Amino acid sequence: DVKVTQSSRYLVKRTGEKVFLECVQDMDHENMFWYRQDPGLGLRLIYFSYDVKMKEKGDIPEGYSVSREKKERFSLILESASTNQTSMYLCASSASPTNEKLFFGSGTQLSVL
């Protein structure tokens, strides 16, 4: 089965810090996603990548950037962390963004103090 690995399960950072969240998948999927999950708001797409160095903004890209230098790795960057970015972050990958199922990592709970 596909394995999607997120580098940290829990992370605590200070306001203004630059934060890197890493995601690695082992199934040669072209498509990778970053979501955040907040109570009552479901899963909201931050950024999506459909190929190396290719990206597309999701619903809430403000305050975030991404990097995809290699096919298996998709990084989410918080340039200057703020308290409203405290959330659960989930990475996913798939062979197709529409017709194939998404495989999710176990999530990173980020707290920004």
Partner 1 sequence: ILNVEQSPQSLHVQEGDSTNFTCSFPSSNFYALHWYRWETAKSPKALFVMTLNGDEKKKGRISATLNTKEGYSYLYIKGSQPEDSATYLCYGGDTGRRALTFGSGTRLQVQP
Return residues touching partner 1 (CB under 8 A): 4, 31, 33, 35, 40-45, 48, 50, 56, 58-59, 90, 97-107
Q: Closer CB to partner 1, residue 78 or residue 92?
A: 92
Q: Closer CB to partner 1, residue 81 or residue 91?
A: 91
Q: Closer CB to partner 1, residue 74 or residue 103?
A: 103
Exposure string for 21-58, b = 16+ CB within 10 A, e = fewer: bbbbbeeebebbbbbbeeeeeeeebbbbbeeeeebeeb
CB of 14 to partner 1, least distance (A): 26
CB of 98 to partner 1, least distance (A): 4
Q: Rounded to an integer, what is the distance from CA 43 to the centroid of its chain?
A: 11
- Contacts for 39-44 with beta carbons within 8 Å, 24 or more apart? 43/90
CB of 112 to partner 1, least distance (A): 22
Backbone phi and psi for residue 73, each to the nearest 5 degrees, phi listed first: -125, 130
Q: Closer CB to partner 1, residue 26 or residue 59?
A: 59
- Relative to beta strand 73-78, strand 87-94 is unpaired
CB of 52 to partner 1, least distance (A): 15
